[in-house]
Structures are given as structure tokens and as C-alpha cells.
Amino acid sequence: MQSELLKGKTAIVTGGGSGIGEAIVKKFAANGAVVYLIDCNADSGEKIVAELKKKKQQAFFQLCDVSNHQEVVATINTMASKQPIQILINNAGVAHVGNVESTTEADLDRLYRINVKGVYNCLYAILPFMRKQRSGCIVNMASIAAVVGLADRFAYSMTKGAVLTMTYSVAKDYLNYNIRCNAISPARIHTPFVDGFIAKNYPGKEQEMFEHLSKSQPIGRMGKPEEVADLALFLCSDSATFITGTNFPIDGGFIKLNS
């Protein structure tokens, strides 16, 4: 359904080529925003943009590695030189399964580069522009892993805890510039990553494991990427102008009811 909640606004969505990021890109474009989709997968990014342009929606793809500081700064500088950027969605990230002993140094470094440094790189690049225009809205994609202990998510939890505390810091430091910064913390969301994880680790038992993982959420199912996108849309709309420095779990009751 198309509306005008973000009409006149320009948004950057990192990791917009699949899963939650793709849903956010489509939701924002359908609500009137000009959307810059940043991803390291050109095929999926360009396919999504082409699909949106057929609908007469405004979207552009930019190939960019969020872990590369110089590349991110150059990319965002180019975008911001064309028009003001009102919204940044720091969604790009990677997952990892393992406890501290099964997490290699290479694993830890990779998750840090993408999940933590990637968020920093985008914040570093966009905040001077938002500060100059004295307005902006940032949403960082954290996780329930940032606030509760999850089995075999050592490195992933570490990175999402950092994303959450970066959110609080930016919200505090830029209050006087009318820049809002919030976090969304999903529980298990049904994305291609989940299907791939099940297929890889439980061959022949895909349906059984899917049902098991779904029922691990108190509400009885996994979340949908579109539901996360709806929350992001609200937080970036004018309906949320009194909200900053807040973490929003979207977890089917996992944090409070999973006991």
C-alpha cells in the first residue's frame, strides 16, 4: 500500500539487498521517500531498484562495503552532495553461530568490521551533514542479543551490544541538532538467512526445524521483515519526533515472556 508518510525525505538503507533491509527499502519507497540502497551484492540491489522504478518509485543502488571507511565516506559524500539526507538506516550486518571457544579470531574480526565498524563508518560520514542541516533520523539495527543472553551467539551478541550503546551515545551527543537516533532489536525474523541456516545445518529436517525455531518465540511464529520495516517507517516519520535514544524490541514477546 502506497502513502506519503516520507514524502520529501531521502533515506539511505545499508544492507538493503535482502531480508529486513530489502523490506525497509520497499516500505520507504512506497511511502514517498527517495531511497539509496547500499549493499555489497550488486545483483540483488540492482534488481530491487529496477523493480521499484517500474512502480514509479524513486530508488537508487550503490555498491559499497560498509566496513571500508574511505569507501563509505566517499559514497555518502556523493549522495549528500545531490540532496539533503534526512534518514539513515544502519541495517547491514552478518550473523555468527558459536560460543567463545568456537569463535576464531578471524570470525571476531569479521563481525567487528561489518557489524560495529560498518555502523560507525556510516554514522561518521552522515552526521556532519545532518548536523549542518540541524535535522536527521537514524535507526540502527541491533538485536535482542544485545540485551539478553543467547546460546552460541558470543561474537554476534558482542557486536549488537555495541550497536545499541552507539545508539544511545549518538542520541545524547546530537540532541541539540534535532537529530534523533533509535535502535530496533528484532528476535528471529524469517529471512533467506534463516532458510539457508536450516538447510545447511539440518538437511532433511528443514520443516521440522523451521517449526521448532518458530515456536521458540512466545507468540508462536517468526517475525516478518515487513513488520520490522513498519516499525522503521514509524520511527522515521513525523509521528515519532518525540522519540530518541530508545531501543525497540520487536520480538514476539521473547525478552519478557520467554521464561
CA 206, CA 212: separation in Å to the nearest integer?
Answer: 10
CA 18, CA 44: separation in Å to the nearest integer?
Answer: 7
Write out the DSSP string of 67-112. T-HHHHHHHHHHHHHHS---EEEE-------B-TTT--HHHHHHHI
* Of 202 and 235, the one with more pLDDT: 235
Mean pLDDT of 115-129: 98
pLDDT of residue 143: 97
- pLDDT tens digits for 39-81? 999 999 999 999 999 999 999 999 999 999 999 999 999 999 9
- pLDDT tens digits for 85-105? 999 999 999 999 999 999 999
- Domain ranges in the chain with CATH number 3.40.50.720: 10-187+224-249
pLDDT of residue 259: 58
Given a cut of 80, whether residue 3 has pLDDT beyond it is no
Given a cut of 60, whether residue 1 has pLDDT beyond it is no
pLDDT of residue 200: 83
pLDDT of residue 37: 98
Given a cut of 90, whether residue 228 has pLDDT beyond it is yes
Question: Does the annotation mark 156 as catalytic?
Answer: yes
Tell me the torsion sign for CA atoms 51, 29, 114, 97.
negative
Which residues, 6+ apart, have CB-to-CB distance to 92 below 8 Å?
A: 14, 15, 21, 38, 39, 40, 66, 114, 118
What letter would DSSP give residue 131?
H
Query: Is CATH 3.40.50.800 correct for 10-187+224-249?
Result: no
In the set 36, 124, 156, 177, the catalytic residue is: 156
Phi, psi of 181 (to 5 degrees): -140, 120
| Residue bearing cell 522519540 | 243
pLDDT of residue 242: 98
Mean pLDDT of 170-188: 98
Phi, psi of 182 (to 5 degrees): -130, 165
Contact 144, 187 (CB under 8 A): yes
Question: Where residue 2 falls among pLDDT bands split at 50, 70, 90?
Answer: low
Cell numbers representing residue 119 in the block: 555502523
pLDDT of residue 192: 86
